[in-house]
């Protein structure tokens, strides 16, 4: 039997003993990590455990959104992507997906930009003058539409 298998057996036995002493409704989760070596991570948990509740428990114990971790980076990347795709009116999230609200924010910004560019084009077309103000409007239109 490997050292890893033996550890799992010992840890499991210990968790069973601890679980028997918990109050009704309490759940147990054990996370073991070696910093910089995610391949060695071990998570042992009771059956039926809600990992969202584990995360909430860690947050109450001081886990901060300000820490640098892969979960937060992935979450922020997804939000930024949903905003960008919404602005471009592409790749709507699946029905009921939590990223929909960020896609909707991006879409609203895209629609606002389209309306603003359209209005600026109309103003420049009507005025059709060579002034600094209209040059700035032309520049803004070019920037928003490229």
Three-state SS string over 47-109 comes to: CCCCHHHHHHHHHHCCCCCCCCCHHHHHHHHHHHHHHHHHHHCCCCCCCCCCCHHHHHHHHHH
pLDDT band of 26, cuts 50, 70, 90:
very high
138 or 99: whose pLDDT is higher?
A: 99
The answer to whether residues 40 and 110 belong to one domain is no
The answer to whether residues 28 and 41 belong to one domain is yes
Inter-residue contact 86 to 110 (CB < 8 Å): yes
The answer to whether residues 57 and 71 belong to one domain is no
pLDDT per position as a tens digit, 92-110: 999 999 999 999 999 999 9
Number of domains in the chain: 2
Phi, psi (deg, nearest 5) at residue 31: -115, 130
pLDDT band of 112, cuts 50, 70, 90:
very high
Mean pLDDT across the chain: 88
pLDDT per position as a tens digit, 39-86: 888 888 888 899 999 989 988 998 888 877 888 899 999 999 999 999
Q: What share of the chain in percent tops pLDDT 70?
A: 96
Residue 11 has what pLDDT? 86
Name residue, tokens 């990590």: 33
- Residue 71: which domain range? 66-146
The answer to whether residues 70 and 56 belong to one domain is no
């Amino acid at each position: 039997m490997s050292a890893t298998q033996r550890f799992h057996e010992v840890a499991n036995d210990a968790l069973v003993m601890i679980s028997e002493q918990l109050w009704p409704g309490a759940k147990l989760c054990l996370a073991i990590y070696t910093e910089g070596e995610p391949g060695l991570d071990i998570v042992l948990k009771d059956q039926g455990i809600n990992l969202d509740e584990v995360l909430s428990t860690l947050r109450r114990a001081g886990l901060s959104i300000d820490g640098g971790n892969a979960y937060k980076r992935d979450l922020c990347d997804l939000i930024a992507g949903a905003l960008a795709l919404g602005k471009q009116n592409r790749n709507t999230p699946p029905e009921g997906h939590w990223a929909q609200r960020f896609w909707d924010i991006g879409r609203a910004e895209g629609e606002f930009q389209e309306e603003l560019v359209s209005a600026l084009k109309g103003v420049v077309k009507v005025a059709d003058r060579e002034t600094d103000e209209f040059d700035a409007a032309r520049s803004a239109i070019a920037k928003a539409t490229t």
